[in-house]
Amino acid sequence: MYEIDKFLPLMIPLTALLAVPLIYFFRNQRDIRDGVSVLAPGTMFALAFLVFKNFYQNKEPLFIHILDITPTVSLQFRVDGASILFSLIASFLWIITTIYSRGYLGGLREKKQTSFYAYFALTLFATQSLAYSGNLITTFIFYELITLFTYPLVTHKGSDEAIKAGRKYFAYLIGTSLIFFLTAIVLTLSLKGEMSYKETGIFDGSESVEMLLLIFLFFLFGVAKAAIMPVHAWLPAAMVAPTPVSALLHAVAVVKAGVFVLYRVFNFVFTPDIIAGFNGHFIALTFSAITIVVASMIALRQDNLKRRLAYSTISQLSYIIFGFSLLNSHALTGSLYHLIMHAFGKITLFFCAGSIYVTTHISEISKLDGIGKKLPITMFCFAIGSLSMIGMPLFGGFVSKYYLLKGIAYSDYQLLFAIFGISTLLNAAYFLPIVYAAFFKPPKEEIHLEAKESQRSMEFALSITALGTIVLFFVHGFFYPLIGV
């Protein structure tokens, strides 16, 4: 039994890896290929669920040592609540996204669909491995692999514009991670001689404050995937990618991977007490707060729908970092909840944007007037997604925001309520007008639909996720054992 426990988590990424040759092999039978890329995440989801069950029985985290690269550098897995949570979400949403992208790619008659699915699977492999990685270097490896595997997806079009955007993407992510992230890891290793995550933290506070602060900042800005303000520019650039990519990868997998790494750093490399010891959380709070507000303001001024969503993603991510750096259990719970809620909400919004683009070739917000008549389901789900983003009760977004506010209340920075107020208003300001215009304004010019047949699967997918946001509000207790802090 215990061996099975050790074996199951490994199976999850391996399934994704196995999917790749299958997808390539069936590149000519489109249906089988898509079937594979639905089957693989399904299997992964089931496996993740089994892992969750085992974890539920014996609460203590599970360590799996795979191999040594050098005597000090080893590949190591760690299975605990957060990792299972992340892997569950990622694999579940992959299923939905595959269904969606079948419609999307079909609607646009994309070339190179096979390589699209293949790189998708590779990215998910890296993401899952990162979710379970048990020490800094393992995290680093899969962090880099995610960047590498998403690069072809970002430059999928192959046009000069896409190539340029890809360069920006690559430069930001690889550059920061090589300069700051790796340096931080090396410094950690040279100071403490080990890198594996521990509840008690790798650092024990005996180190010099300056050193700790330096390493902390390196981590904070080295993990550019979390898109905190100075290092966020890659995310809007990445929006040239096809919408399913933006949806799953740049609303869930990639960015959440960054946030997840920061979660590890905050709680397993450092510990809240140590961070408080050198006031690292204060810096993190400042930056994340600034990001929340400023990103929302920029989002307000974007006319391209996907870019607006991208900036809203940036600000929402900073909620999570914000929650980490409040350093109390309620805020942490809120953050982890936000990891789920934002994932569902934002993927819904991206799906909507994508289906609008496929069916009407509109990507600007100003042209969306009266589109609600044409695409009722899509726009209705869009409304749900936005409300969840804003944090209305009865929607998943409310849960996380509630815990975050509770966290603020328990911390000694009460005036940060103001930030929340402002940002919530801003969220409303840049989402609701779209919904309003879509349903109640008369269309400027005649909108004609096409690609009817592909609409089915897309609407199916996005309604599922929209439903998810509502369901999550009621069943959020289900995740409590995973988040349990």
Task: Measure the CA angle with vertex 414, ends 411 and 418; round to 5°.
Answer: 135
**One-letter amino acid for residue 105 of the chain:** L
| Closest approach of another protein to the CB of residue 22, in Å | 19
Task: Measure the CA angle with vertex 132, ends 127 and 133; round to 5°.
Answer: 90
Helices (H) and strands (E) in the chain, counts: 21, 2
Helix axes of 376-390 and 329-360: crossing angle, nearest 10 degrees: 160
* Nearer CB in complex with another protein: 115/329: 115
| Closest approach of another protein to the CB of residue 335, in Å | 29
N- to C-terminal Cα separation, the chain: 27
* Nearer CB in complex with another protein: 159/414: 159
Contact 177, 223 (CB under 8 A): yes
Structure tokens at 390: 């804003």
* Nearer CB in complex with another protein: 23/336: 23
Name every residue whose Cβ is closer than 8 Å to that of residue 405 and which is 6 or more positions away in sequence.
Answer: 334, 417, 420
Name every residue whose Cβ is closer than 8 Å to that of residue 318 and which is 6 or more positions away in sequence.
Answer: 227, 228, 229, 287, 288, 289, 291, 292, 295
Q: What are phi and psi of 63, to 5 degrees?
A: -110, 135
Q: How far apart are CA 17 and CA 11, in angstroms?
A: 10
* Nearer CB in complex with another protein: 178/209: 178
* Nearer CB in complex with another protein: 158/230: 158
* Nearer CB in complex with another protein: 142/395: 142
* Nearer CB in complex with another protein: 67/415: 67
* Nearer CB in complex with another protein: 158/376: 158
Beta bridge partners of 79: 62
| Closest approach of another protein to the CB of residue 29, in Å | 21
| Closest approach of another protein to the CB of residue 18, in Å | 18
Beta bridge partners of 278: none
| Closest approach of another protein to the CB of residue 113, in Å | 15
| Closest approach of another protein to the CB of residue 187, in Å | 9
| Closest approach of another protein to the CB of residue 219, in Å | 16
Q: How far apart are CA 20 and CA 267, in angstroms?
A: 34
Q: How far apart are CA 57 and CA 278, in angstroms?
A: 38
Q: How far apart are CA 354 and CA 241, in angstroms?
A: 11
* Nearer CB in complex with another protein: 115/463: 115
| Closest approach of another protein to the CB of residue 69, in Å | 5
Contact 262, 321 (CB under 8 A): yes
| Closest approach of another protein to the CB of residue 82, in Å | 23
Which residues form the interface with another protein (CB under 8 A)? 67-73, 137, 140-141, 144, 148, 152, 155, 158-160, 163, 166-167, 170, 174-175, 178-179, 182-183, 186, 190
